[in-house]
Amino acid sequence: MATDALELRVSDALKRAPFVIFSKEAPASLDDFSMDDSFQYFYFNDLMQTLSGLSPSFLTNGRNAKTDFPEDFEAYFSDDVDVCKSFLHPKIKIIFEPWRTPLRSTVLATRKTAMTFQDRLFMLGCFSPVDDMEMSFTDFSTTVSFPELPDLGLPVPWQLAAFEQLPNAMAILDGDLVVQNHLARALGTEVLTFIIDLCRSCEARSPPHGTPSRSPRYWNLQQAVPGHGPMRIWWWQPTDEPWRCLALKPLEPDVLERARFARHAESR
């Protein structure tokens, strides 16, 4: 595949992913910085607006934890510093945290890592609400597409680096496997082939429903993967073209307990 076409697909795959992808740029010094303008939001994908009511363009316009969480912003800065100091990719920090937005109050399952790009450091994360899939109550579901938003105009090399260092395993397919990131390669060819075959089988069970707008574009699975235990798996079609994306992460065995603890901690 031509380089330009691959770059566009990586950009579309991140932008239209069925879990939130976000990033903050770290300050030059992690020990001495101003909370007024450090760790500003650098990237959110389209799903952020659907889940929260807050657009990526609004959030990435000079905002940070101090502007959005004035009562407890110091805890967010402390966590970002910890990620950047102690969880350099491929290390991953897993947390469960309460989340209140104009559209919902819930608990998030969040995976974070420290991403490097051109001698700069970024906190890079993926999150999704703790739902029936996260708790293994559901093993298969489909959804239609969600609104597509204007592009943030970030440099393509940054997006390629984010794809490679994403704290979820991720791959792009166009018939055959086109590209995969570090965590996907770490699973090995046999495991990845097993998951791809599973996703294609699930997609075949949910044929189109009359019109493209009513047809599934996103498939969610929960499956025990040989040698790796239960996984949450996402399979999606980012554009009208017939190529697919795959992402997955291990499911935490104590997810319900940790989600309840996060909710309880918020209410104290």
Q: What is the pLDDT of residues 11-41, one digit of tens each?
A: 999 999 999 999 999 999 999 999 999 999 9
Q: Please tell me the total number of residues recorded for the chain in this structure.
A: 268
Task: Please give the residue that has the higher pLDDT: either 130 or 210.
Answer: 130
Q: Are 268 and 72 in contact (CB under 8 A)?
A: no
pLDDT value, residue 2 = 81
pLDDT value, residue 214 = 63
Query: What is the β-pairing status of strands 176-180 and 244-250?
Result: unpaired
pLDDT value, residue 213 = 59
Q: pLDDT per residue over 35-64, tens digit each?
A: 999 999 999 999 999 999 999 999 999 999
pLDDT value, residue 206 = 81
Q: Which residues contact 60 (CB under 8 A, 6 or more apart)?
A: 40, 41, 42, 43, 44, 152
Rounded Cα distance between 114 and 182, Å, is 14
Helices 3-15 and 156-165 sit at what angle, rounded to 10 degrees?
60
- Taking the CA atoms of residue 257, residue 262, residue 264 and residue 268 in that order, the dihedral angle to the nearest 10 degrees is 150
Superfamily of domain 3-255, CATH level 4: PAS domain (3.30.450.20)
Region at 186 (left for phi over 0; alpha for psi -120 to 50; beta for the rest) = alpha
pLDDT value, residue 256 = 77
Mean pLDDT of 144-165: 95
C-alpha 199: how far from chain center: 18
Q: Are 153 and 8 in contact (CB under 8 A)?
A: no
Average pLDDT of the chain is 92
pLDDT value, residue 98 = 86
Mean pLDDT of 198-203: 94
Q: What angle do CA 125, 197, 185 make, to 5 degrees?
A: 45
Give pTM, 2 decimals.
0.94
Q: pLDDT per residue over 48-105, tens digit each?
A: 999 999 999 999 999 999 999 888 899 999 999 999 999 999 999 999 988 888 888 8
Q: pLDDT per residue over 166-197, tens digit each?
A: 999 999 999 999 999 999 999 999 999 999 99
What kind and span of H or E run contains 80? helix 73-86
Positions of E strands within the chain? 20-25, 41-44, 93-100, 105-117, 120-129, 140-143, 169-174, 176-180, 218-225, 229-236, 244-250
Mean pLDDT of 224-253: 93
| Domain locations along the chain | 3-255
Q: Where does residue 225 rank: exposed (0-12), middle (13-18), buried (19+ CB within 10 A)?
A: middle
